[in-house]
Structure 1
């Protein structure tokens, strides 16, 4: 039984390695340039750069009310 499980594990490993070897690679310089371009194109819509309007911020401090 042990040899059968070893063979099965090795077959799965070979299949995984074949799958990983077939993945198309991109140069780091190209990926960095594309990421920079994406960030610059979407900077106008980024709430981390612009801030969130107070009315639509679900994390704003709750308003307190006082009964007089």
Structure 2
């Protein structure tokens, strides 16, 4: 019986491997040069919205240093 269960186990492992390979083979792929060009275009088109490039107005910045209070 243990030989039969080992065969079934190996068969299940092989079936999972084949299923995974079929899934990976069906994935649509593009060339790296095309992906890089599309990424560059996207970054350039959205650069004006990126707070790391344009900065955050101090009035909208929740992490600005607190203002000190002076009593006269």
TM-score (norm 2): 0.77
Structure 2: stretches of 5+ with no match in the other structure: none
Structure 1: stretches of 5+ with no match in the other structure: none
- Per-residue deviation, residues 7-59 of structure 1 (Å, max 9, x unmatched): 11110110010010111110111111101100010000011101122222233
TM-score (norm 1): 0.80
RMSD: 2.0
Q: Indicate the residue corresponding to 2:50 in structure 1.
A: 46
Select the residue among 26, 41, 56 that pairs with 1:37.
41
Count of residues in correspondence between the two structures: 68
